[in-house]
Amino acid sequence: MPYYSGDLIEEVISQNDIVEVISEYVNLKKSGRNYMGLCPFHREKTPSFCVSMDKQIFKCFGCSEGGNVISFIMKVENIDFWEAVEMLAERANIDTSRYEVASSYNNKSAQESKDIKDTLFKLNKDVAVFYRNNLMELLKEDNNDVKSYIMQRKLDMKTITKFGIGYATGKEPLYDYLLRLGYTKEEMLQSGIILQSSNGKYYDRFYSRIIFPIFDIRDRVLAFGGRAFSAKVLDKTIPKYVNSPENDIYHKGKTLYLMNFAKREKLDNIIIVEGYMDAIALQKFGFSNAVASLGTALTENQARLIKKYTDNVIIGYDQDEAGQGATMRGLDILASHGLKVKVLKLDRDDVKDPDEYLNKYGAERLKKCIDNAISLVEFKVSILEKHLDLNDFDSKVKFLTGVANILSKIDNNIERELYIDKISQKYGMSPGPILKEVEKGLKKNSSDDVVIDMQSLGKKMQLITNVRKRQEQYIIALLLSKKKNVQDKIIENIKSSDIENEDVRKIYDFILSLRDNYDINKIDILSKIHDEDMIKEITDIMYIDISGYEEKLLQDVLKNKKKEKLIIRRDEILKRLGEDVTKDESDILKLELNQIIIELSKLK
């Protein structure tokens, strides 16, 4: 497996402008010399996420995340350092083979982590080929249960090949196959595909199931889903679906099934459905923007992944109660990330999901349903109405109060007014009372926002109020100033032990250690750091703008440090003089104290 020289890191950073990269995930707006947007790593209503084109760094002043372009990709894609480097290299069309070296990482744990992930990706690929070949062989036969099921689900050869659909035969064939390929038992167990029984035998987790490989956005096989099709499913003696467990490469809540195919298209929107077959059916019928959530509860990470490719989402979960409940849970998560959400309502009650609808009524009719998808507000109102009897007076009051609460969450005034008019007409009442209830909700939301803003402000002010730490952060800022005379004076006059704050001292020591091998004015400091807390700390410091004030700041820093040392020594002398000391020692201490007082008066 390849290992890379540090030159690749520098090339990746230089060829991937941080504003362009982050703009693929976050809607940024220019603000002075920087760019601002809503942080992708925590929920917020007021932008506190700042990107500096000049310094090629980002910083969120709400949650303290920060770093360079590699740090951002690591965090937003949930991948390790070298995976982020490879991803950015691919984005910039950099030939990584030119940077391959024979030696391994200096960091042993990083190497071990990469080794594990590389092995899992390779094993999964081999397993996917094994399952696919099994299915191909069975489809050549005249008749068998697997072939009958494939025909029943109308899966043609083109679809099977495109999505890598396969079949897991008995319990042991896969284990024997992987042994022949040279995989160890430990590696098989780590993948979660092979399990060990209580009697010590190894077997295939997915045996006797149709297999759906799950890919990441780079087309690598992350995991598998297996669907049973025997009669035992009907009487619930075995579960319908079995899925890979999470491991070093697979995190269910950060993946969307078939996103690797959907992202290749120029997307106006993404349709999210529940199951593998729903997504496959939609893709087969030409809806190339269809993906499936792996489990019905949408997550923050999935919302961020979608936001990278489109601002518009249509949720097409099953029409049953479970599906509608899952839709409700996912709506607000998607909306909180700035996505415009609509809900697919099928116009027939005799089908429960898009797959069944397509096979019964065709793609053209489904497209009309998609075009007529209802808004987030309309869906919430319909669910509210569904569970109340509007012929009952108390229920109608409860319904309209609930509607007002929903409308008060809309930020756009025009949109809110239009909904008030539409709902008042539909349910036969004056818009006035609804508007008054909405205004109550708006006042409550406004007071909540003040609390949120104050909390955010408190975090922003934390650094400013900690004067001692800020003074020591200036030392690091001067070291990073690229002015050699300033850097030399800092190193000459300030020792590591002079820095009280542990986080700042750690950075100071790290930068000094880099000087043994690098010119710190010619490297990207952040690319040399793998400690997440240190990255956040140094990013804070890099946002301190000292340009044009370096010499003055240097004088202030050196003066303050000198003053601190004199005060510490003064207090030590005063304490000693209060103790039992000889006359000679007392005279010497008093002379030193007098000199310190004179020095301190000069520094005021």
Q: Please report, for the chain, the start and end positions of each structural domain, with discontinuous segments joined by +.
A: 3-103, 113-250, 256-385, 388-463, 467-603
As a whole number, mean pLDDT of residues 124-149 equals 94
Under 8 Å between Cβ of 544 and 577: no
Look-up of token digits 């410091």: 541
pLDDT, position 465 = 40
- Average pLDDT (86-113) is 72
Lowest mean pLDDT among 124-133, 317-326, 372-381, 542-551: 317-326
Confidence band of 417 (pLDDT split at 50, 70, 90): confident
Predicted pLDDT at 479: 86
Does position 2 have pLDDT exceeding 90, yes or no? Answer: no
Q: Which residues are 316's β-sheet partners?
A: none
Cα-based distances in Å from 334 to 10, 240, 255, 270, 279: 35, 28, 15, 12, 19
pLDDT mean across residues, the chain:
83
Whether residue 428 is predicted with pLDDT greater than 80 in this model: the reply is: no
What CA–CA distance (Å, rounded) separates 259 from 215? Answer: 8
Q: How far apart are the first and last CA of the chain?
A: 61
Q: Using 50, 70 and 90 to split pLDDT, how confident is the model at 222?
A: very high
The reported pLDDT for the residue numbered 452 is 44
Range with top average pLDDT, 305-309, 510-514, 526-530: 510-514
Q: What angle do CA 209, 215, 76 make, to 5 degrees?
A: 140
Assess whether pLDDT exceeds 80 at residue 461. no
Q: How confident is the model at residue 457 (pLDDT cuts 50, 70, 90)?
A: very low
Q: Distance between CA 31 and CA 47 in Å, rounded?
A: 11
Q: What sign does the CA torsion over 49, 55, 57, 59 have?
A: negative
pLDDT category, 320, cuts 50, 70, 90? Answer: low
Share of the chain above pLDDT 70, in %: 89
* Mean pLDDT score, 534-559: 83
Q: Average pLDDT, stretch 549-576?
A: 84
pLDDT digit string, tens, across residues 229-267: 876 665 677 788 899 999 988 988 889 999 999 988 777
Give the per-residue pLDDT at 184: 95
Q: How confident is the model at residue 164 (pLDDT cuts 50, 70, 90)?
A: very high
CA separation for the pair 502, 535 (Å, rounded): 14
What is the mean pLDDT of the segment spanning 77-90? Answer: 85
User: Is a pLDDT exceeding 50 seen at residue 368?
Assistant: yes
- Backbone dihedral region for residue 295 (phi beyond 0: left; psi -120 to 50: alpha; all else: beta): left
Best mean pLDDT range from 493-502, 516-525, 593-602: 493-502
Q: Kindly report, residue by residue over 466-479, the tens digit of the pLDDT.
A: 567 778 888 888 88
Torsion sign, CA atoms 18, 20, 26, 32:
positive
Mean pLDDT of 482-510: 87
**Euclidean distance between CA atoms 197 and 250, whole angstroms:** 23
**What's the CATH number for 467-603?**
1.10.860
Collapsed DSSP state (helix, strand, coil) of residue 577: helix
Least Cα distance to 161 among 251, 287, 261 occurs for 261
Residues contacting residue 403 through CB under 8 Å, at least 6 positions apart? 381, 384, 423, 434
Superfamily of domain 3-103: Zinc finger, CHC2-typedomain (3.90.580.10)
Contact 384/401 with Cβ under 8 angstroms?
A: no
Q: Mean pLDDT throughout 529-552? A: 83
- State the pLDDT at residue 33: 82
Instruction: Please report the pLDDT score of residue 604 as a whole number.
Output: 63
How much is the pTM?
A: 0.66
CA distances from 533 to 71, 106, 302, 462 (A): 12, 20, 25, 17
Strand pairing report for 3-4 and 100-101: antiparallel
Q: What are phi and psi of 496, to 5 degrees?
A: -55, -40
Taking domain 256-385, whether its CATH number is 2.40.50.140 is answered by no
Yes or no: say if 278 and 251 are a contact pair by the CB < 8 Å rule.
Answer: no
Topology of the domain comprising 113-250: DNA primase DNAg catalytic core, N-terminal domain (3.90.980)
Residue 225 pLDDT class (50, 70, 90 cuts): very high
Q: What are the backbone dihedrals phi and psi of residue 576, each rounded to the nearest 5 degrees, phi first?
A: -65, -40
